[in-house]
Chain A
Amino acid sequence: MRDVVRFIRRGAMTEVGDIAPTDMVLDYLREREGAKGTKESCREGDCGACTVVVRRRRQDRLVYEPINACITMLGQIDGADLITVDDLADDDGDLHPIQRAFVDHHASQCGFCTPGFVMALFALYHTSAPPVARERINDQIAGNLCRCTGYRPIVDAAMTALANPRADRFGENARETAEMLAFLNDGEDLMVGDQRRFFAAPATIDGLAALVEEHPDAVILAGGTDVALWVNKQRRTFDKIIHVGRAAGFDAIEDSGLEWSLGAGARLADVEATLGAVDPDLRELLRRFGSRQVRASGTIGGNVANGSPIGDLPPALIALGATVHLRKGSAERSVPIDDFFIDYGKQDREAGEIVTAVSVPKLGTAHRFRCFKVSKRFDQDISSVMGAFRFTVSDQGTVDEARLAYGGMAATPRRAKAAEAALTGAQLQDSTRWTEAFNALREDFEPISDHRASARYRIETAHALLGKALIELAGADSQRTRVVGQRPPTDARERL
């Protein structure tokens, strides 16, 4: 059992023990270290001004992950190398290639967002090889807002810097860093504080399950992209934080042939690679999920357990027929994900119980899948309406099963059972049955009006998204049906 958070700063091991459980990395940097380069702007992980990079070892590789320091608790960076904008230039003041390119391309105006952009792109510098496409850069900085430049010079700077071979001192000291990180990864449970007030990060799943059962009043912290907002914005005080991020194997992603088993601790960045391979629409959905920073922190377990009415991923998981696995102490159980979401803010999870994994059946040859996210802004926004559809189609073209799931339409993400019934047994191409399904959506949902969309727009869009899926499955090229996220031109599986 270790009672101090340990991480690397500028090549030196740093130990911090005197922290409140929810102290954020940003405050540590600005207030304790006096490192003022990293900026606070929104304090909710939506603007990226506070982006820093953590270097970690994952699967024996050194990875560079951009995170929002404002919504990351200090304990979450245990065992990592923390790099900030203050650290990039050489000691003699020579700028990092990313920084140099920013200056050369006039990519800063007021400069307040600049440190965050530099760090997001510094992470990309070490996770890409030249050349890097514009879309990839746009995606990397989707979580960084700039109000001055209009982004063009930033993207140009990134294109230039990333077109050259990688050469910086971080690459040079990678080996030493990896060794230090290996040393830091001591397999000890982390427990900073006492039984009444602590930040804990058990090193094993068993330890995690036991601690959560012992402290059912504790907040379970995964990526923290939501929990941190309760602290920062609602100013709530949490005495007990149990972080899942150090439990060995909790983030495991396994392929059992017919389905994927996604450990609850698997970060969305990891899930992106796995589910993204299942279907192009899922890949786009995950690409548009939060931002790189959010996906580097947020986990699938957190996204599901959180039970947001929108949740973005849950509608897709519902359509795919996923199962949620839970554990309390040593007792394990599984629930179809449709049943997990009970009502607004209420999930089928008991106090002291944790979500351990989500298993997702793969798509078979009889399956046709589509999902769509409609939001005010394409990147880093929450859906007004999200629709995910899986049709099981017989060789004769009959819909044997339709799983139609929506987010943003009710208090929880859920299925449109009446519309499903209207389509079941129909010929997929039979547009008279489509109309029945569209009409049935009005039985399925009575959405609310809020700042994202009106009830009327929501119901009409729910209709439109199902319509779009059906039109595409009837043969329309997505180049002709969508302004974003077009699918690859030939979809061999669907042509079977």
Chain B
Amino acid sequence: MSDTTDTTASDTGKRDTGSGLAVVSKAVAHDSAVKHVTGTAAYVDDIREPAGTLHVAPGYANIAAGRITTLDLAGVLRAPGVVRVLTADDVVAVNDVSPKEAGDEPLLAAEQVTFHGQVVFAVVAETRDEALRAVRKARIGHAPSMPVIDVDDALAGDAKVLPDYVFERGELDSEMKRVPRHLKGEVRVGGQEHFYLEGQVALAVPGEQGEMLVYSSTQHPSEVQEVVARVLGLQAKDVVVETRRMGGGFGGKESQATQWAALAALAATRTGRPCKVRLDRDDDMIMTGKRHDFRIDYEIGCSRTGVLRTVQASLAARCGHSEDLSLGVVDRAMFHADNAYYYPVVKITSQRLRTNTVSNTAFRGFGGPQGMMLPERIMDHIAFETGQDPLDIRKQNLYGDVGRDRTPYGMRVDDNILPELVEQLETTSDYRARRAEIDAFNASSPILKKGLALTPVKFGISFTLIHLNQAGALVHLYRDGSIRLNHGGTEMGQGLFVKVAQVVAEEFGADLDQVRITATSTDKVPNTSPTAASAGTDLNAQAALIACRAIKDRLYAFIKERWQVDREQVVFRDNQVLVGNQTMSLGELATAAYVDRVSLTATGFYKTPDITWDREKVAGQPFFYFAYGAACSEVIVDTMTGEMRVTRVDILHDVGRSINPAIDIGQIEGGFVQGMGWLTAEELVWDSAGRLMTHAPSTYKIPTASDVPADFRIELFESGGNRADSIYRSKAVGEPPLMLALSVFSAIVNAIVSLKPAVMPRLDAPATPEAIMRAIRATGGR
């Protein structure tokens, strides 16, 4: 095809998006909603298996670190239904499933074990049950070594997966001497299991001459394609990866869906039969990475009234046994270690620690949430020391006008709406009156204490690995006027597919049901980026729009030639095309164009403009724009047991001009609750041998319905649209709302502070009842 349009969307956003839109801006349902509720939405495990499909189950050694001395799989092979076993020796080409072929993520570990749960062999059997049972028959001899488990272990041993990295501005030492107040502290932030409801799964179907078709539940089909080809010694042209939908991703299927797809494909190659890997939930939790947990140390200087002058902080992240995406994750923690606040003189250091635990990976926010714990803790700490309301401290430290608008990494914050947004939420949440009520309540309540906090979020939008900020789409217009849409983004529940379809329908003036949404597939749109960084709609909707416009440009040319009507006199609306004075259906126009031999298919390609980042020089403008929001949360804490309830939440969030308010609100409240779970109840516990103790929902507790306050108020901020030239002036919404949950955490701190401790209570996340009691005890409060 020679008709690829390779431009950035020149005229998007320039038209008035506030009126005259038929499909975009409407709260239409998720495209699969009816299929979801009837159980007819097919996930990978629901695809009818080709006859003869085999099932693969992985096995691992019961050590976190050490060497495998013997691998006796005779019992496995004898077990009922077993067709064969796979070990490192069976890998066709490269035994590495790491994103960048770093050589640190074997598909099947050969000799060295670097975490508990690392796959050493896999069983291929006629049924999944037989495969899972056979795994237990393995006899693995090993010579264990002392594992490095947590951040403190790794710091003590100086074990790193990557070099340290620093953001620095100003003369820290001299400025520190000049500031009147110094504060110092430490906070620990726990990791988080993704707990996508659909676990990792892939079905590989071998084809002719080494071809491989892989159905994978992945956010990154192109990477799965690349890794499958790498492992099998094939080229990208030989492997097709298809993803219709995931039952949740949250980052957990960005880089870590590849291993299971590669394992299925290897089994399919070795047996010549279709093979499926679907991890058991416990295996999934043991074998796949999580959100990085951090130890954060800080020392700050501020004015007597609490305005920050200096910030020095160290972010130490547990990366696990391999690099995976830790470079970007920890960078993003640094990019958000300011959150919404101006740091005049600053030094932020990060350490990427190597441990004998599963390799931590992307998780909604990608390090940003952990980074933001630092500034929010600092704000609470300053408020404690100065005796002021934490909200006042936050407000006076927000980014401001010129002179107070440079981030620690040098980018200017030129689209800041937080002063206005925070002010509005302060009013609508009735913050001041509730503060007074809570003070009165706490004064008369010895056991139960309430807390209140209003915290902002500023989140940078774009992949900081600049080349990922590109997307492709493929649009077909058929002779009957219906449209088939494909693009490189994947659907994991976030509503990307419907938003892109809305943009396409709007462009053709067609009803949404005229647009058929199709599975992401590496043979339709190649070389795609992961669906991540909240950028799915920003990138893919632009690409789709460009594809639509390429087709429309040809239709305009055809119309001009056939009817001598200029494009300005052509309107696509209500499934009709108004051509001057005549009206025809889109199908009639398409048919006429087809008969005139006009191509009705186009690809579209988009790359985000105006972004730069030089990591070595710490210079550039890595973000296209910032997304903003704020939340006000109220909690009540039982100071005898540490039990806590969130009693009210008010959120005001900026999505620019929403393409679909229902989908956007869903992202906001879902992200908030997921963040609340991370900060309050979801606790990952490893034993001293490096084994994860919380590897099932019976022991790892994500929020349930009753944890969400009945009084939960969410508003979209009326911003007038994104200042950046984004699709319909909307803003990305996938990740930013997760960090609104820091308001819950600060509210808990606030409740503990009401006990009037002598020192700032050190509350670590997650704030389980036990963590809350530990913080209370440390204050001498009870």
Binding site for B on A (CB under 8 A): 27, 34-44, 46-47, 49, 84-86, 88-89, 95, 98-99, 102-104, 106, 108-115, 118, 134-135, 137-139, 141-142, 144-155, 233, 235, 237, 372, 374-382, 384, 450-454, 457, 460-461, 464-465, 467-468, 471, 480-484
Contacts and interface: CB of A to CB of B under 8 A. Distances in A.
A118 B38 CA distance: 9
Contact of A152 (B198, B445, B708): B708
Contact of B492 (A110, A151, A451, A454): A110
Contacts of B196: 110, 112, 147
Nearest to B662: A106
B281 interface: yes
A47 B285 CA distance: 14
5 contacts: A44-B698, A110-B492, A147-B194, A150-B670, A484-B643
Contact of B197 (A147, A378, A379, A464): A147
A482 B638 contact: yes
Contacts of B492: 110
A484 to B, nearest CB: 7
A389 to B, nearest CB: 15
A366 to B, nearest CB: 27
B774 to A, nearest CB: 8
B560 to A, nearest CB: 42
Contact of B683 (A85, A376, A468): A376
Given A106-B663, A112-B43, A145 B197 contact: yes
B666 A109 contact: yes
B46 A36 contact: yes
Given A381-B701, A483-B448, A148 B645 contact: no
Given A44-B696, A85-B38, A151-B705, A384 B770 contact: yes
Interface stretch (B240-248, B376-384, B394-402): B240-248
B582 to A, nearest CB: 38
Interface residues of B, number: 87
B7 to A, nearest CB: 33
B235 interface: no
Contact of A480 (B132, B447, B643, B704): B447
A148 B493 contact: yes
B705 A114 contact: no
Contacts of B706: 135, 138-139, 142, 378-379
Given A36-B42, A39-B43, A106 B30 contact: yes
Chain A contact residues: helix, strand, loop or mixed: loop
Contacts of A99: 34, 37-38
A376 B770 CA distance: 8
Contacts of B32: 108, 111
Given A102-B36, A110-B198, A468-B640, A40 B136 contact: no
B701 A483 contact: no
B37 A109 contact: no
B708 A39 contact: no
A109 B770 contact: no
Given A103-B37, A450-B693, A460-B773, A110 B640 contact: no
Nearest to A139: B706
Contacts of A84: 39
Interface string B17-41: 0000000000101101111111111
A103 B641 contact: no
A233 B698 CA distance: 12
B636 A41 contact: no
Given A41-B198, A115-B37, A451-B699, 17 more contacts: A37-B38, A41-B199, A47-B697, A106-B662, A111-B30, A111-B245, A112-B196, A113-B197, A115-B39, A137-B705, A145-B197, A148-B666, A149-B666, A374-B641, A461-B773, A464-B641, A468-B447
Given A110-B198, A376-B683, A457-B770, A150 B38 contact: no
Interface string B264-298: 00000000000000001110000000000000000
A483 B281 contact: no
A70 to B, nearest CB: 10
A226 B384 CA distance: 48
Contact of A86 (B38, B247, B699): B38
Nearest to A134: B710
B281 A376 contact: no
A387 to B, nearest CB: 10
B494 interface: yes
Given A148-B493, A484-B645, A109 B39 contact: no
A39 B198 contact: yes
B717 interface: no
B773 A142 contact: no
Interface in B656-714: 662-663, 665-666, 669-674, 681, 683, 685, 693-694, 696-699, 701-708, 710, 712
Contacts, number: 256
A27 B55 CA distance: 15
A108 B33 contact: yes
B250 interface: yes
Chain B contact residues: helix, strand, loop or mixed: loop
A146 B196 CA distance: 9
A384 B672 CA distance: 26
B38 A88 contact: yes
Contacts of A147: 194-197, 248, 250, 670, 674, 702
A145 B38 contact: no
A104 B33 CA distance: 9
B39 A85 contact: yes
Nearest to B673: A150
A483 B637 contact: yes
A285 B498 CA distance: 43
Given A41-B198, A111-B493, A102 B37 contact: yes
Contact of A43 (B280, B666, B683): B280
B768 interface: yes
B697 A109 contact: no
Interface in B174-203: 194-199
B511 interface: no
* Most chain B beta carbons < 10 A, residue from A108, A110, A375, A453: A110
A95 B638 contact: no
* Most chain B beta carbons < 10 A, residue from A39, A42, A49, A453: A42
Given A42-B697, A145-B197, A112 B248 contact: yes
Contacts of B484: none
Nearest to A382: B698
Interface string B610-646: 0000000000000000000000000011101111110
B299 interface: no
Given A106-B33, A114-B37, A376 B195 contact: no
A103 B29 contact: yes
A249 B353 CA distance: 61
A192 B241 CA distance: 44
A109 B641 contact: no
Contacts of B641: 372, 374, 461, 464-465, 468
A118 B37 contact: yes
Given A47-B697, A110-B246, A484-B643, A376 B705 contact: no
A36 B494 contact: no
A295 B493 CA distance: 31
A481 B448 contact: yes
Nearest to B48: A34
Contact of A483 (B645, B705, B768): B645
B603 to A, nearest CB: 28
Nearest to B46: A36
A148 B37 contact: no
A471 B699 CA distance: 32
Contact of B247 (A44, A103, A111, A384): A111
Contacts of A149: 666, 669-670, 673
Contacts of B30: 106, 108-109, 111
B479 interface: no
B133 interface: yes
A110 B247 contact: yes
A380 B704 contact: yes
A114 B36 contact: yes
B385 interface: no
